[in-house]
A and B are shown apart, each in its own frame.
Chain A
Amino acid sequence: MPDGSTLRSFVRIEGLKRHFDVSAPWLVRKLEGRSRQLVQAVDGIDIDIAKGETFSLVGESGCGKSTVARLVVGLYPPTAGRIEFDGQDMAGRRVRSESAALRRRLQMIFQDPYASLNPRWRVFDIIAEPIRAFGLATSKADLEKQVGDLLRQVRLTPADGRKFPHEFSGGQRQRISIARALASRPEFLVCDEPTSALDVSVQAQILNLMMDLQRRFGLTYLFISHNLAVVYHISTRVGVMYLGRLVEQAPTDTLFRRPKHPYTRMLLDTIPDLEMTGRQRTPVAGEVPSPLDPPSGCSFHPRCPFANDRCKAERPRSLPIEGGAVACHAIEEGRLAIEDRDYRPAP
């Protein structure tokens, strides 16, 4: 990791892997002579996140970005690798009270604000649950005050606490999930596509709110999204995932102005952008291969215009470059030149 030595990392992910067993049942396998099948959803990634920054993971569906989010908050145990949070190994054995103290400090915001709030609970109870669970309120009045403050922080009113989730619009519900995530006074928030179920004008409200809260409370975000324009606005650094691997990571401006990996370039080419109404998007041939049977060598080689025999055989290592890191033989060998990009509208 290029930044590891200069930044003190707050969250450190090392060699993280998660494989899912999708084999047929044992008896079927024995009868039909089939072997076990593994999906390598996350196949060895390293990320360092500094305190107070927003690290974004982008990629197309099935690239494993949501699995990383779930691994980080501990919803899945990793197959291999370690996750360190503020110097402590998340997987390490410890007594119950210690692990609760650790969990209080990280929270998650989910994609679908319709599915992530219990429809039978009042908003007050939804937001009060983490406060009660971690014993953060001294009295009933204190609890009410805390929930009221949280609702105000996300631009709702304390009176909204008496309502049920169905009485709110999608954007308001996402504000409620943000209030719930903030209730345990966390330092690190994992946001899995928090705005992709929302309309654009509401998306802007939520993104602005998230940036305001970050400044106010010094929060650190791991932000998962498939929308590169959103990522460009909210992130400090960006990692690009393809088939369970991190193919490139860089500070936001570097990634967008001087993209290196051919896949990153392809993704940037496909963003529909209003500033470039005259421009034709270059449609890229091919689709993401099945993670059940990933290509050999560099997993992007079947779609890559710069692939050669080495790319087909040997998996590229992630090498530091220009404040970031990229895993590509063509860049490493200097076969592929790095060009500057300009997104200003054509005159």
Chain B
Amino acid sequence: MTTVARSLSNKEPLLEVKNLRVEFPTRRGTLLAVDDVSFDIAPGEVLGVVGESGAGKSLTGNAIIGLLEPPGRIAGGEIRLEGRRIDNLPYEQMRKIRGARIGAIFQDPLTSLNPLYSVGRQLVETIQTHLPMSAADARKRAIDLLKEVGIPGAEHRIDHYPHQFSGGMRQRVVIALALCAGPRLIVADEPTTALDVSIQAQIIALLKRLCRDHGTAVMLVTHDMGVIAETADRVAVMYAGRIVEIGPVHNVIKHANHPYTRGLMGSIPSLGHRSERLIQIDGSMPRLTEIPRGCAFNPRCSERGRRCLVERPDLIPAGLGWAACWLHDVAGVGPAATKELADA
């Protein structure tokens, strides 16, 4: 794949992911869970990554922070942070980058905190691991961070344990932990999924403010289009391990270029209009063992052509973004495709 979906600004990208492949060797052969994924994120930008479960969005995020669970492994491509390759670093070096340059926020705030240590101790430990600070200074920074993420009475709350916080407050602590060393990039994997809607709005407002104040870039992985619509600058839609569409968030939502994105948007119940039936995409996403030939979406696609059955589309410029769909191949059927069609 030659196209790299560029960020909106012309700034040097903070994170570049090129032709990333993540695979899982199994007894029945190797499964390709992330297949040739390329994108970049500019400083201060929020890139939303959406998709249904199993689309490979979390694996892409985990590959970037270097936390792929074995036997999963990066099988190809490269990841660059501020121009430096980070996908092939030894474990110890990656550990230093993670936390210092890249912060991570996970879905469940209860499991990402250690229940046996007070939140202050966890914050101080993280700060001292990445920054040369005395214990007293680190504690002061920890209190400032807790204040910044909106925990009332931070001086007093710092000595409390995770179970003494509510779900929303715990997620704030996790965000404070991710911010400890002033990272340039935050990978947030479903940060609001475990929270109630009223708390969700608070956490999203917080993430946006922090991003603006610190110029931190965010990769926001979620299945919730509503969260993306309010938070992200650009959005990448994933399906069966590939990016099928990427572009400015407003365009992807209002004028989706890929039939899958259109179906996905239509199936989300909205308050704007009420209809007898919701738009539905029949069937479900293929398992990794059964990805069809050609475009992976073709069995469920209402606009499928002959070419979609045999040849897999790469990202093609479409509207203000890119879509991996032959409908946008204005140049028409290339020689390679015609040959395949003749063979088929």
Tell me the A residues contacting B by CB distance below 8 Å: 60-61, 169-172, 199-205, 207-208, 211, 226-230, 232-233, 256, 266-267, 269-277, 279-285, 287-288, 343-345
Contacts and interface: CB of A to CB of B under 8 A. Distances in A.
B197 interface: yes
Given A200-B268, A272-B226, 6 more contacts: A60-B198, A229-B271, A275-B270, A280-B205, A283-B201, A284-B201
A277 B254 CA distance: 9
Contact of B264 (A201, A276, A288): A201
A273 B200 CA distance: 13
B200 A274 contact: no
A207 B199 contact: no
Contacts of A266: 198
A198 to B, nearest CB: 9
Among A228, A276, A277, which residue has the most Cβ atoms of chain B within 10 A?
Answer: A277
Interface residues of B, number: 46
A303 to B, nearest CB: 9
Contacts of A232: 269, 271, 274
B219 interface: no
Given A60-B198, A270-B198, A208 B168 contact: no
10 A-B pairs with least C-beta separation: A272-B226, A204-B267, A275-B272, A199-B52, A229-B269, A60-B196, A343-B271, A204-B278, A204-B280, A283-B202
B95 to A, nearest CB: 34
Given A204-B278, A204-B280, A271 B267 contact: no
A155 B198 CA distance: 36
Between B168, B198, B250, B272, the greatest number of chain A beta carbons within 10 A of the residue's beta carbon is seen for B198
B88 interface: no
Contacts of B280: 201, 204-205, 208
Contacts of B196: 60-61, 226, 288
Contacts of B224: 272
A277 B229 CA distance: 5
A270 B201 contact: yes
Contact of A274 (B198, B265, B276, B278): B265
B185 to A, nearest CB: 24
Contacts of B270: 229, 273-275, 343
Contacts of B271: 228-229, 232, 256, 271, 273, 275, 343
B278 A208 contact: yes
From A202, A272, A277, name the one whose CB has the most chain B CB atoms within 10 angstroms: A272
Contacts of A230: 269
B325 interface: no
Nearest to A282: B201
